[in-house]
Chain A
């Protein structure tokens, strides 16, 4: 994008709230049931049935509102959003129009500068409201029509709408990372984009930098990962900037992201022009929330990512960036803290989790949430062996793989395989003498002041001891021997 334009992005995130039952009926809310098994007269919109609000859904929605610094409405009502589409059995969706659960909050995101430091930016939250999900349509392989599965109809959703405060695909990505972290800490949603428990639509427009009026807004849908949101917004910014430069009109429309082609395209739909004709839902009475209730709920909130981030920096002395990466994924931060409770050095634990452990987990396609192969106690044990010099970092990299595969502790593996670091000075001196004798040229270089040449000799000693020597000790021994030969 040329420097004269800036992008204006707002996100609408739909989160499926983790309840046992649907929002207005007792049907189970679990994922993966047989088609239409979780349906009843209420969620199928049969005449004579009446919706009744799930107490827990409202409680979870208010928790999210509080965590996002929103004002919780003291009076809440539901409205009908009218439109015809076969995924809606009633021809309207019960949603909230002008009296949402909460409004006017903010979310702090951390942006990494080129220098690697983090800077905070606050993104406004317009509102968060409750609504029911729609059913699911299946087209593929269906002859002369579409199939409908209403299991999802009536699952509680919280729609979280941001202000148009985001200025780049990266900011949008970080917004989603931070929002997901908060939702996970609250335990209100599984936040699984593949299963649809978290969905995101983006509103994107372009304007002259610093200009007050917004450009024409385009809505993008159908992204199924945070990466896809990033890519779709980047594509849309490029498309709109090119349109502005060539004088092509940008149409206000909804576009769908095509992941395999890496582009957005105009959505053609049988849905008529939108006029939702909202009106108060007559089947549901209004709700009022007392300030005592709100305060009690506020007190029940767990430690949230931002507070944990601050605590990690102070308590563990790890870098801002490391603290941020750990905290962004609740399970990762939990694992890290469990390691430190088992006595692991925090800096080493942070390094080993973020490099070796995550690489292993990705390789095996496992999840940090459930890691029977390598409990925190075992990683802490490995770190202790590195710290007290029993094994070298190099050997530890092999040990962690073995631990993961066998579920054995580091101590067991080191003992079994005889991997204990050679700290026997006499033995090391013998090997050092041999290496110096075999490489007189390199030794001469070191003697003449080319200090980095010693690295080669250290490597040779490591090789002879099968990686079991302590590199720092070898370095000292070699230096002493070579300089004394002057």
Chain B
């Protein structure tokens, strides 16, 4: 079963401004991917635990040890906008 892709919604959620030609091409690509995945759906996987990660590794931890990285000045210098020790972004207002 082919699922119709809502390319406009996906583009909006990803904050992408697509030109009409890109829009059509990407919609087709995504539909191709879905068609391939739907083939896999036909296989019975009831007894297979879901894979969330492709590498056979687990339990990678770090110790709870604090260390300052001291990169603030360098990062702020590369930020599109900053003021004092803050990053600056376009105004975001919550509520009234």
Contacts and interface: CB of A to CB of B under 8 A. Distances in A.
Majority DSSP secondary structure for residues of B touching A: loop
Interface stretch (A54-62, A106-114, A326-334): A54-62
Contacts of A30: 66
A265 B62 contact: no
B62 A53 contact: yes
A56 B15 CA distance: 36
Interface size bracket, A side: 35 or more
B66 A40 contact: no
Interface string A433-476: 00000000000000000000000000000000000000000000
Contact of A53 (B52, B60, B66, B95): B60
A34 B76 CA distance: 14
B78 to A, nearest CB: 9
A55 B62 contact: yes
Interface string B68-90: 11011001100001011111111
B15 A84 contact: yes
Nearest to B56: A285
A224 B94 CA distance: 16
Given A36-B72, A52-B60, A149-B86, A139 B91 contact: yes
Given A27-B69, A39-B75, A288-B58, A144 B87 contact: no
Interface in A8-52: 19-21, 25-30, 34-41, 44, 46, 52
B89 to A, nearest CB: 4
Given A41-B71, A52-B61, A86 B96 contact: no
B68 A28 contact: yes
B64 interface: yes
Contacts of B60: 52-53, 284-285
A54 B61 contact: yes
Which of B60, B69, B81, B88 has the most A CB atoms < 10 Å from its CB?
Answer: B69
B53 A280 contact: yes
B12 to A, nearest CB: 7
Contacts of B92: 85-86, 137, 139, 146, 270
A77 interface: yes
Given A19-B64, A54-B62, A285-B59, A39 B86 contact: no
B86 A138 contact: yes
A277 B93 CA distance: 24
Contacts of B93: 139, 268-270
Interface string A58-78: 100000000000000000010
Interface string B26-61: 000000000000000000000000001101011111
Contacts of A58: 61
B66 A20 contact: yes
Contact of B86 (A36, A272, A280, A287): A36
Interface size bracket, B side: 35 or more
A152 to B, nearest CB: 13
Given A35-B84, A145-B81, A265-B96, A286 B52 contact: yes
Contacts of A235: none
B67 interface: yes
B62 A36 contact: no
A352 interface: no
B13 interface: yes
A285 B58 contact: yes
A40 B69 contact: yes
A36 B64 contact: no
Given A265-B96, A287-B58, A288-B59, A27 B68 contact: yes
A185 interface: no
A21 B64 contact: yes
B49 to A, nearest CB: 8
A148 interface: yes
Contacts of B57: 285
A82 B83 CA distance: 27
B85 A146 contact: no
Contacts of A56: 63-64
Contacts of B64: 19-21, 54-57
Interface string B11-28: 011010000000000000
Interface string A262-275: 00010111101001
Contacts of A29: 66
28 contacts: A26-B65, A27-B66, A27-B68, A28-B67, A36-B85, A36-B86, A37-B68, A37-B72, A38-B68, A39-B75, A40-B71, A41-B71, A46-B75, A53-B62, A55-B61, A58-B61, A77-B52, A86-B89, A137-B92, A145-B90, A145-B91, A256-B94, A268-B94, A268-B95, A268-B96, A277-B13, A284-B60, A285-B60
Going nearest first, the 5 A-B pairs with the smallest beta carbon separation are A40-B69, A56-B64, A147-B86, A280-B52, A55-B61
Interface of B: 9, 12-13, 15, 52-53, 55, 57-69, 71-72, 75-76, 81, 83-96
